[in-house]
């Protein structure tokens, strides 16, 4: 699907106006009310190095309670938080280990990865920031009373990472009944998500991508969300997704990414998405509040 044509955009904006009409409750308490969740993508990665504890804290400082991350596995089997499958872009690995090209995460032990600077590439203020383990990351999210949209990144590279991640989540208490509302697990890999749902059918799950409408019932067998790039959706697609019940019998939700400006956020909210994943969560949150 291509970017929405102008006519569709106009329709979406009209729909948006209706969606964001202030409710009586909003007028009574003076606060805007809308139900679109803002998720800090790789943490508040517009303001701090992605997928670090600093990015989690930056989201918290902005009052954002949902953070998204990416989980992969080291050579010695430890779960860490990083987006790329190589260490090059977001650490100084090429300086520290010049002879270890192509610097795949899976070729480095945790001890080696913990020697890397994962902050300086973003800015001098973040020098010394490290690559967090999933455990460290979850601890910080918990300490901040935040919620986690956890992506299994490239799970096809890491056999068994679904079970391992669920085990670690359980050990950290994230699968306890009272905490489950604070967690969604997602992936671009449908088989990985099918596995997560089979192993822990109680966990809320999302499929990353834009499946054909005809295929949605198949994805709904193991997903509660369909999470597409905002460049691939229009109001009709969002409505088609919402019309299908997900794995827990509720309408499939849509969390779209990566929306970094206010007008685009208001536009996709008008299409009826449930969540917006963004590097600049304050920009999105404020735009949605202003439009409500
Ligand atoms: O959560 C959505 C988004 O993270 C998917 O793309 O490449 O940033 O992991 P990517
Ligand atoms: Ca991600």
Between CA 49 and CA 85 the distance in angstroms is 16
* 151 pocket-lining for ligand 1 (C-beta < 6 Å): yes
pTM over 0.75: yes
Q: Looking at the annotation, which residues are catalytic?
A: 41, 83
Q: What is the DSSP string of 17-51?
A: HHHTSPPHHHHHHSS----PEEEETTTTTTTS-TT
Note the CATH number of domain 37-291.
3.20.20.190
* Mutation test residue for ligand 1: of 37, 39, 41, the one with most atoms within 8 Å of CB: 41
CB 226 within 8 A of CB 244: no
Which of 102, 51, 74 lies closest to 158, judged by CA?
Answer: 74
| Domain locations in the chain as residue ranges | 37-291
Between CA 73 and CA 55 the distance in angstroms is 20
Cis link prior to 216 (omega < 30° from 0)?
no
**Block residue for tokens 């969560």:** 281
Please count the other Cβ atoms lying within 10 Å of the Cβ belonging to residue 263: 11
Between CA 51 and CA 67 the distance in angstroms is 9
Query: Digits of tens for pLDDT over the chain (292 positions)?
Result: 333 233 333 333 334 443 443 333 333 444 455 799 999 999 999 999 999 999 999 999 999 999 999 999 999 999 999 999 999 999 999 999 999 999 999 999 999 999 999 999 999 999 999 999 999 999 999 999 999 999 999 999 999 999 999 999 999 999 998 888 899 999 999 999 999 999 999 999 999 999 999 999 999 999 999 999 999 999 999 999 999 999 999 999 999 999 999 999 999 999 999 999 999 999 999 999 999 8
* Mutation test residue for ligand 1: of 257, 274, 280, 284, the one with most atoms within 8 Å of CB: 257
Q: Could you tell me which residues are beta bridge partners of residue 184?
A: 149
What would the two tokens of residue 106 be?
């899976």
Nearest bound ligand to CA 71? 2
What would the two tokens of residue 38 be?
């803002």
CB 152 within 8 A of CB 195: no
């Amino acid at each position: 699907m291509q970017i929405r044509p102008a006519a569709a955009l106009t329709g979406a904006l009209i729909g948006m106006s209706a969606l964001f009409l202030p409710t009586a409750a909003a007028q009574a308490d003076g606060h805007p009310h809308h139900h679109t969740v803002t998720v800090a993508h790789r943490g508040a990665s517009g303001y701090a190095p992605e997928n670090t504890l600093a990015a989690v804290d930056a989201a918290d400082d902005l009052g954002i309670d949902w953070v998204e991350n990416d989980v992969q596995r080291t050579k010695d089997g430890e779960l860490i938080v990083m987006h790329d499958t190589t260490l090059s872009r977001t650490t100084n690995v090429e300086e520290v280990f010049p002879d270890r090209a192509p610097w795949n995460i899976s070729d480095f032990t945790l001890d080696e990865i913990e020697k890397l600077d994962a902050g300086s590439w973003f800015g001098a203020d973040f020098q010394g920031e490290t690559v967090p383990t999933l455990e460290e990351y979850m601890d910080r999210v918990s300490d901040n009373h935040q919620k986690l949209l956890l992506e299994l990144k490239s799970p096809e590279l890491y056999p068994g990472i679904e079970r391992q991640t669920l085990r670690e989540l359980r050990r950290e208490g994230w699968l306890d009944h009272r905490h489950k509302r604070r967690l969604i697990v997602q992936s671009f890999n449908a088989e990985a998500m099918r596995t997560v749902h089979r192993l822990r059918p109680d966990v809320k799950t999302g499929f990353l991508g834009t499946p054909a409408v005809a295929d949605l019932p198949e994805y709904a067998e193991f997903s509660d969300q369909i999470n597409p790039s905002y460049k691939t959706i229009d109001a009709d697609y969002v409505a088609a997704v919402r019309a299908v019940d997900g794995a827990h019998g509720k309408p499939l939700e849509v969390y779209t990414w990566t929306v970094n400006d206010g007008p685009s956020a208001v536009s996709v909210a008008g299409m009826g998405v449930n969540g917006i994943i963004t590097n600049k969560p304050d920009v999105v949150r404020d735009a949605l509040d202003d439009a409500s």
